[in-house]
Chains A and B, each alone.
Chain A
């Protein structure tokens, strides 16, 4: 698992960790049952306060993304197919929100925006 955090970004580091792990799980980069580095190891690797990592893991546990095991590192929780799909939709919606704002600011019609988006997706396929 590769995580990159920017302590200067203004987004709290714990949130950056939570979002990246959520994305990794949703996109299949992290698989159900896979072990996550321990709080200590991850905080040493990222060069951040261990409390930050702890906080991130705590939230991911609450959300059911990670599972705690006593005395051992966290693992990615096995989830039903439906909830993985729901997570992916959530991720995409989050990414598209600023694009929707920009579309309105540029005074463009939704259909125009959708056309551009479709073309971009098709370009990638090629």
Chain B
């Protein structure tokens, strides 16, 4: 099996809304992939397709080597899934729920379960129905990882968790990657968290894949230039193709550039300007990645 999941021309429409538009993705090897996009961009729909919970209108989805519509026992025992809307059995206690779910899997790591309950400070005897949203999220994660999945899919897993618990969870995802060589797909709005752990970034915009790159490559691709002219005013508008955002004021300008490294010397001499270059982090890059539109 070459890829952990793969989509080819995946398209899904709901009446007039195109939720996914010819999505081509291939995710392989142990990796942590960040799935980003504005609300309504198709992230949850894509995840639902990977899990076989929704079926393609056009195109195909393959998860762990099988068409997602046909995922069976042999694949499901290797997948862990934390949905955005967590629905668990309210009337059970945390402990009972864990025990119940563990019966579905040939192997269940009780040590990991115990350690996570402890680290995430979740009381085993509490009824699931009485858990706060944050604690529900914690339980959902523990339920998804004790069988040592090869593929872990998390849809907004940290939105209700406090910073300390989020930190612990992210550290655990890295541990999963290291120890289990899992492939992890995490969709989250908390870009600062995503940035700490992912090595690959996929961005959706209106159902289309607009970014599909290594995080390092993105950081090297985009940067901000503070430009100061040594002789007189700068042009009102820079029309160079690598300038994707700009703010110009007299002798000064702030430019957002894409693949600007090879252009910087020529630019300096063309405009007789000093340039101070600053890289962008994921949060700063997000508007550019998602819409290729930007301001400084």
Q: Which residues of A contact B (CB under 8 A)?
A: 7-15, 40, 43-44, 47-52, 55, 98, 101, 104-105
Contacts and interface: CB of A to CB of B under 8 A. Distances in A.
Contacts of A11: 219, 279
Contacts of B141: none
Q: Is the interface of B mostly helix, strand, loop or mixed?
A: helix
B192 A49 contact: no
Interface in B16-63: 31-32
B278 interface: yes
Given A7-B196, A104-B274, A50 B219 contact: no
Contacts of A13: 216
Contact of B174 (A10, A48, A55): A48
A68 to B, nearest CB: 19
B216 A50 contact: no
Contacts of B180: none
Interface of B: 31-32, 170-171, 174-175, 177-178, 192, 195-199, 215-216, 219-220, 223, 228, 230, 274-276, 278-284
Given A11-B279, A51-B199, 5 more contacts: A8-B192, A10-B284, A12-B216, A49-B198, A105-B274
B216 A55 contact: yes
Contacts of A55: 216
B196 A51 contact: no
A60 to B, nearest CB: 15
A101 to B, nearest CB: 6
20 contacts: A8-B281, A9-B279, A9-B281, A10-B278, A10-B279, A11-B219, A12-B215, A12-B216, A12-B220, A44-B175, A47-B196, A48-B174, A48-B197, A49-B32, A50-B178, A51-B31, A98-B276, A101-B275, A105-B228, A105-B274
B274 A49 contact: no
B196 A40 contact: no
B193 to A, nearest CB: 10
A47 B276 contact: no
Nearest to A105: B274
Contacts of A14: 216
Nearest to B216: A12
A40 B192 CA distance: 23
Nearest to B167: A47
B278 to A, nearest CB: 7
Nearest to B279: A10
B195 A47 contact: no
A55 B31 CA distance: 14
Nearest to A12: B216
A43 B219 contact: no
A8 B174 contact: no
Contacts of A12: 215-216, 219-220
A101 B274 contact: yes
A34 B238 CA distance: 51
